[in-house]
Every structure is written in C-alpha cells, then in structure tokens.
Amino acid sequence: MLDANAAAVTPPAAIRREDYRPPDWLVPEIALDVSLDPAHTRVKARLTVRRNGEHRRALHLDGDGLIPIGVLIDGEELHDSWRMDGPALVIDLSGTDHLIETEVEISPAANSALMGLYESNGLLCTQCEAEGFRRITFFPDRPDVLSRYTVRMEADKARFPILLANGDPVDTGDLAAGKHYALWRDPFPKPCYLFAMVAGDLVANCQVFTTRSGRDIDLGIWVRAGDLPKTDHAMAALKASMAWDERVYGREYDLAIFNIVAVSDFNFGAMENKGLNIFNSRYILADPDTATDADFDAVAGVVAHEYFHNWSGNRVTCRDWFQLSLKEGFTVFRDQQFSADQGSPAVKRIEDVRALRAAQFPEDAGPLAHPIRPESYIEISNFYTATVYNKGAEVIRMLHALLGPEGFRAGTDLYFERHDGHAATCEDFVVALEDATGADLTQFRLWYTQAGTPRVTASLEHDVPGGRARLKLSQTIPPTPGQPDKQPMVIPLRVALLGERSGNPMGPEQLITLDASEGEVLFDGLTERPILSINRGFSAPIVLQSNRSASELAFLSAHDNDPFARYEAMQQLMLDTLIAGVAKGGNDHGPVIEAIRDTLTDPALDAAFIAEAVLLPSEALIGDQLAEVDPEKIAAVREALRADIGTTLEDDWRDAYARSRANRFEYTPTAKGARRMHTVALGYLAASGAQDTARLAYEQFAAADNMTDRQGALGVLANGTAAERETALDEFYQRYRQDPLVLDKWFTAQALSTRADTPAAVEKLSRHPDFTIANPNRLRSLVNAFAVNQRAFHDLAGGGYRFLADMILAVDPRNPQSAARLVPSLGRWRRFEPKRAAAMRAELERILATPGLSKDVLEQVSKSLN
Ligand code: TRP
Ligand code: ZN
C-alpha cells in the first residue's frame, strides 16, 4: 500500500476522446474576488451554477493543490453536502440553479511550475491554458464551460500599481493600508483557460487602433519601465495584424481595450487570454541592438498568432482538448499567411517547411507520433506539439488549396457565424467548409485521425516524339504507435512540367489530388523533354521520392518558376549527395557546387532567397533520411562538402560577403536579406579554412550596429579555435550580462558549437552563475540548444545523454512542463546506431525508475520506451 514506487511505475489513466460527455453543470456567471500577495493570495469565487440536462449527478469542481477555507451553498455552510474527492471539490445539489461560494489561499511565490497564478520578476501573473485555472480556484476546468467573468483585484498599491484582467475596466479606487483595487468585467462568455490577471509595476506603450467600423480600440503593451523602448515593433505588428484580420478574414476586434503584458518567466511563447494576452518577453521586446532579424520576425508572428486567436480560439473555442488543433492549427496557418503577406512569401514558406521538417517530421516518425487530433492523452500539456500546431497548419493549408481562397473564406465565414460564442470541434470546422462550398471532405478527414508522414513516390515517363508524358504516383503511410495499418489519404500536389531546352513551364501549373494508393496523370502536347516539378510550394506535408537525376534537380534549382520548388530541388540535390557520402563513403560534390554557383550569381534572385537556398540540410535532417543514424559520420560528410563548397567558390563567397555589407541598420526586406547573406557567406569562408576568416568575423562582430550581424559573427567564431573566439564571447558577455534575453544567445552560441569540446563546455556552462533551470528561456538556451546539436549531444564520450537526463530529473519537481519538453531528444533512441541507442535507452530507464515523477515526464518517458 505505502510503496512510493507503485505510483511512479503505474502510468495514470489516459483520457480518451471517445469518452467525451457534455458538462453536468454549467457556470453562466463567475465573480472572483482576489486579494493579491506573493506569499498569501486569497481567492473568493462566487459561481452561479445551472444543471445541464436531466441527471442527478453532483457538481464536480476541479482543483489542484487547493484546500477550501470555506464553502457556501446558496449562502449556507452545508457540511454534509460537499466533500473532497482527491484534489476536486464535489458538491451535492438538489435543484437546477445554485450559488456556490468558495475561498482558498494560494502562494504565487511558491509556484515554480508557472501554471496558475505565479510570481515572475516581482510581477504576479497567470497562465491557465490548459488546466491552470484549477490551481487558482475550484471550477469545472474544461473548455466547454463558458462563463461571464467579473474580477475584483486588490493589492498593495506601491508594489502593484497596475492591476489588469480580461475585458473592460469598471472601477478602481484606493483602500486602507496602502492598498487599492480594480474591478474588471468581460462581457464575452469564455472558458476558464482564457482567464488572466496581472498585477505589477508596469508601464505601457499606449496607442489607438481604429477598426473598419470606426471603433477606437485602446492598445497597451505593458512592460518593465526600462523595456518601453523595445515595444514599438510589437505594437506595429499588433496594428498590422488587426488590419489584416479585417481585410483577409473579415474579423474585427470586439472589446474596447486590448492589452499585452510581457513576462520573463513563461513556459511557452505567449497566451491569447481574452483582451489580455500574456507573452514571454522574448516575443515582445525587440530593438536592433538586442534582437536579430529572426527575433523581429518571431515577435511579429507571435503577436499576430495571439491576436488572431481572438476569433480562432476565443470567440469560437474548443469543445475539449482533443480539438486543440481546431484553434492552434488554424491560427498557425493564419499567422503564417500574415507573415508571408508582410514580407517575402517564398522565404517564409522555406522557413515554415524547414521548421516542420526539423520538429514535426521526427515527431511523426517516433514513439510520440499522434494525429493532429489525438485519441488519448495522459497529460494534455504534452500535446502542445509540432504535430498539433504545425502539421495542423499544413492540414488547413491543404484545405485552403483544395477549396481555393474564396471557397475557404466562405467556409471560415460560415464557421465563425455558426459557432460564435460556442465551443466547437474539428468536425464542425470541416462541416462548415463543406456546407459553404459543397465539397465532400469525407476522405480528407483522415488527416485528422491518421498519424505519420505520407511517403509519395513520383516518376515521370515521357515520349517526346509523341508529345506525351505519364506521371505515376503512389503513396504509403508508415505505421505509427497504435496505428499499424493506414488508408490512403487525400494529397493535393501542385505540379508543373518544365521544358528542358527552354527552361519554361509547359502549360499551367495543375493541382493534382492523389487520393488512392496509386494514381496516374497523363500530359500531352509536349514539345520538348519535360522535367517534373512537384509538390510546389510544399502543397502537402509529405516525403517525396522521385526518380529525378542530379542533373534534373540542378536544372530545377536554376529554372523552376516556383521559388519554393527551386529551393527544394537544391535541397534534394544536396541531400542525395550527402546520403551517398554517408552510405557509400564517396560522392561527387560537383553538381551541388555548380548549382550553388549558379544560384549565387543569378541576378534575378534576391539575397534573402539565395541565403536560404545555398544552406546545406542540417545534420539532423540528413539523419532522418537514414535507417540508422551515425552522427559522427554525418558530420564528417557534411563538413567535407561544406569545406569543398567554401574552397571551390571562395571568390564568390568573398564577393557575396562584400556585396552584402551594410553600413547602417534598416529593417527592410532588402536589408534583412543582405544581413542573412552576409553571415551565410562568412560561414562558407570559415568552412573553406581561409586564413582571414576569424579576423573578418571579429571585425563583423565588433563593427555591427545590430544583433543579426553580431550574433551571426559570434556563431561563426564559436565553431573555431581562433583567439578572437574568446575575445568575442567575453565582450558579448560583458556587454549584455544584464539583459537576460541577450544572455540567452550567449549560452546558445556555445551550445550549438561544432567544436569537439562542446559537451564539456555545456556541462561547465550549466554551473555558470548566470545559468538557472528556474527560467524556461535560460534552460532552453543551453539545454535544448545542446540537445539539437546532433554531433555534440550524441558524442558517445561526451556524456550528453546523462547530462540531459539529469536535467530532466532536476527540472521535473519544479516545472513538469519544461522537463517533459526535454524528453523527446532521448526518446528518439531507436533511430541511432546500437551503442548510442542503448545508452539513450538506459537514461530513459533511469528516469522512469525515479520515484515521484510528474505525469508529464512519466507519459513522455514511458511512451518513448514502448
Ligand atoms: N495557446 C497558447 C498559444 O499557442 C499556448 C500556451 C501558452 C500554452 N502557454 C501555455 C500551452 C502553457 C500549454 C501551457 O498561443
Ligand atoms: Zn496558439
């Protein structure tokens, strides 16, 4: 009975999608009265509850670590009518409508999990998605219970002069003993995961946005006093997002106020709480001296994402957490569209596909694979995944392609109209698209239920004298945990044939839908030898296998009129070359080098595109193509190709480097492209072994008037052994030691280093006075960066696996979500050669044998060992 291990080895019960039942009780109104204090916060809640349907079941209020100080039922202390059932409060009720009052005390200062109400840097703030509200008060913590919130906050006025919550401010005033209060009311019914409160000493960047119907919205971005100058970019992105959603989706903002607060301790990117978004400060604060171009882009993307949730997530929310992709996949698609519209669509698509391949494809091929709408979970926090978010967005993108922009818009209009103010399902979304367009998406729904990345084989046969060609297609979907057999999916492929002689497309691009195991498409009227351009724009999230030769890929990389396809052809050529090197020990670098030269010197291309196109696939991506990963071999083959590209094209890199030198910072697409090119060229010069690279890099580092150039140079130096490396690292540290977001970059630059001593350096950095596992950004900056550094993390002598397992065990008691997110790097053990696989597996087993693991880590580790 009292065996502490017993609980640890029996995984907690899974929640299953098919078990969904509507809530027994609704809560149309909730009034919270919160007396805020870091160590002792009192939360009084008044819930108006209403029986939902004919049943005699008790009212079940979720709680997590709460002890009731008082419970009143219709104003009375009926001790026989309520009881604790584990962490939950259960109340027997006889009628249909009742008033429930509870009071609890919580300690934000002691909350290291960063879920519920917690303290960050002197600020009190909340994070309730997915199940954090139950750490604040007793409540039916599920997204299909929607309530109107009235929130009264009370706190010490000197320490917490600003008191924010969702909705509209109704009243404020002073109280005795140096306290003050604020009363907020949110007129829109919402699930409790969208509740938010912030108290602190903050200042705001305040501006006004006028909606298309002429309403003035007060916008506020709230930060610590010194950070105010870094909020302009986020503010501009917010206004642009508001205008974009009106224009592209017909969605206008609904409250009179929209506030954003930046906090430094946050488990995720940001949170879309109604009218009061809370952000990880890294996705708000940006200026040229401290943020890279990629940081600027990420700020705009996340600001847009959270803003877009006001409709896709808040006005229409999720019925249950299995529907998470309903809001996340759709909202990621919306933020991707927005960012594409703001800058270069081709480069944005390349970045999004690169992120999908880096994070989602491995997930889909590993022990944690799940469909975008999972069938079961133990801990919902573990399902905020690249699959639900990014593959979810790809599924929406395919719907957009299949229905066309107008059909898709008609569908989303109907969806918003039909489900406004309600909790919906993925099925509701698909039905709205069908009803608005007449399309039949029956088979397409497999994308919601089947996990695994489809493999599509494409081969083109042609008969030039006859003017004909035949494209043969086939698909298979690999087995995934719990899904040994799959049905053929609907795969939309944008296809064109290019003429080998003219370099021009023969006929318009076609959208071909492969919806059976095999398919065939015939082309006629061809006047020259055709070359196949397929899955243009990455129209489907698949792995493509084609019979295109190196010279055909090189041709496409130089001539395809779809920029993504051009990039993709180059990537495929590079991958084929690298894989041949790993598999056969020998390969011909010539075609890759020639293709890079052509791209580098093509006057029709912009620098931003060129910089993406000439980059080799990552070591991890090469590993993903192989049956068994040998990180050392992959690194050696890739380095050899890099060196050859660097040396053979040295003059071109020097040209590109000189051409892309800027003299004054500008945040324009052209200037951004030049900066990207500048550092990419520097990297190839370093790979060439040219004597002056360290000097060039250090000059770039020292002369930079922006973080992109500075961090780029530091990254190049960090891989080398020159004396300039230590100088630059030291100067960077001294200059930015007071700026946590920049100091994160200092940790990351070292954790990503290709040097052989990186595992030891990371180990040492984990004992650096500025390292802490308490801050998720700092933890990630060192530990996640190290875990994605394939050669360093998998260096058998480096002890990386033990290091990561120790980190997981150290972080788990404080912050289970953060700890669980470190597990997948070890969880991929089956993909590696036997020695490494065994060592990784042993660490997973050591974790599993540790008593007292969180549900979060337990689920990820046990699934990884299955
Ligand atoms: N809904 C948030 C988003 O995608 C995600 C999120 C924020 C989250 N904080 C979290 C998820 C904490 C889990 C735990 O924008
Ligand atoms: Zn989101």
Considering only CA atoms, which residue is closest to atom 3 of ligand 1? 271
Residue 140 has pLDDT above 80, yes or no: yes
Distance 796 CA to ligand 1 centre (A): 35
Q: At residue 1, does pLDDT exceed 50? A: no
607-647 per-position pLDDT tens digit: 999 999 999 999 999 999 999 999 999 999 999 999 999 99
Give the integer Cα–Cα distance in Å for 745 and 280: 16
How far apart are alpha carbons 679 and 672 in whole angstroms? 11
Q: Give the binding-site residues of ligand 1, using a 6 Å CB cut-off.
A: 127, 129-130, 267-272, 305-306, 328, 381, 384, 817
Across the range 737-763, mean pLDDT stands at 98
Residue among 165, 123, 163 at smallest CA distance from 277 = 165
Q: Is the pLDDT of residue 444 over 90?
A: yes
Q: Helix, strand, or coil here: 786?
A: helix
Tell me the CATH number of domain 455-540, given options 3.40.5.50, 2.60.40.10, 3.40.50.1820, 2.60.40.1840. 2.60.40.1840
φ and ψ of 186, to 5 deg:
-105, 115
State in Å: Cα 211 to ligand 2 middle.
23
Burial of 707 by CB count in 10 Å (0-12 exposed, 13-18 middle, 19+ buried)?
A: buried
Residue 730 exposure: Cα atoms within 13 Å on the Cβ side: 5
pLDDT bucket at 6, cuts 50 / 70 / 90:
very low
Pick the residue whose CA is nearest to atom 2 on ligand 1. 271
What pLDDT is recorded for position 9?
A: 53
What architecture (CATH level 2) is domain 26-200? Sandwich (2.60)
Domains 26-200 and 455-540 share a fold: yes
pTM confidence score: 0.98
For residue 454, what pLDDT is reported?
98
Instruction: Answer yes or no: are the C-beta atoms of 812 and 854 closer than 8 Å.
Output: yes
Ligand 2 geometric centre to CA of 615 (Å):
30
Sign of the CA dihedral with 365 first, then 368, 369, and 372 last: negative
Taking only the tens place, the pLDDT of each residue in 400-442 is: 999 999 999 999 999 999 999 999 999 999 999 999 999 999 9
pLDDT at 585: 84
Task: Report the nearest-CA residue for atom 7 of ligand 1.
Answer: 271
From the alpha carbon of 305, which atom of ligand 1 is closest?
A: 15
Residue spans of beta strands (DSSP E) within 166-318? 168-174, 179-190, 197-200, 203-210, 216-223, 257-263, 270-271, 276-280, 316-318
Q: Which of 117, 129, 192 to mutate to test the pocket of ligand 1 (most atoms within 8 A of CB)?
A: 129
Q: Which ligand has the shortest distance to the CA of 309?
A: 2
**Residue to probe by mutation, ligand 1, list 267, 302, 332, most atoms within 8 Å of CB:** 267
Q: How confident is the model at residue 203 (pLDDT cuts 50, 70, 90)?
A: very high
Q: Which atom of ligand 1 is nearest to the CA of 306?
A: 15
Report percent pLDDT > 70 for the chain: 99
For ligand 1, atom 5, name the residue with the nearest CA.
271
CA 753 – ligand 1 centroid, Å: 30
Q: Where are the domains of the chain?
A: 26-200, 316-449, 455-540
Q: Whose CA is nearest to atom 15 of ligand 1?
A: 271
Q: Indicate which ligand has the atom closest to the C-alpha of 776.
A: 1
Residue 192 CA to ligand 2 centre (angstroms): 16
pLDDT reported for residue 3: 44
555 has pLDDT over 90: yes
pLDDT at 552 over 90: yes
Ligand whose nearest atom lies closest to the CA of 278: 1
pLDDT at 663: 79
Q: Cα of 507 to ligand 1 centre, how many Å? A: 45
Quote the pLDDT of residue 12. 82
Q: What is the mean pLDDT of the chain?
A: 97
Instruction: Write the CATH number of the domain with boundaries 316-449.
Output: 1.10.390.10
The best mutation among 127, 306, 325, 330 to test binding of ligand 1, ranked by most ligand atoms within 8 Å of the C-beta, falls on 127
Q: What pLDDT does residue 10 have? A: 62
Distance from the alpha carbon of residue 325 to the mean position of ligand 2, in angstroms: 9
Q: Which atom of ligand 1 is nearest to the CA of 115?
A: 12
pLDDT on residue 831: 97
Q: Which ligand is nearest to the Cα of residue 277, counting in written order?
A: 1
pLDDT tens sequence across 677-695? 999 999 999 999 999 999 9
Residue 4 has pLDDT above 90, yes or no: no
Residues with CB under 5 A from ligand 2 (ion): 328, 331
Q: How far is CA 830 from CA 624, 693, 801, in A?
A: 12, 39, 14
The full length of the chain comes to 866
Residues labelled catalytic: 306
Q: Look at residue 5 and tell me whether its pLDDT is greater than 70.
A: no
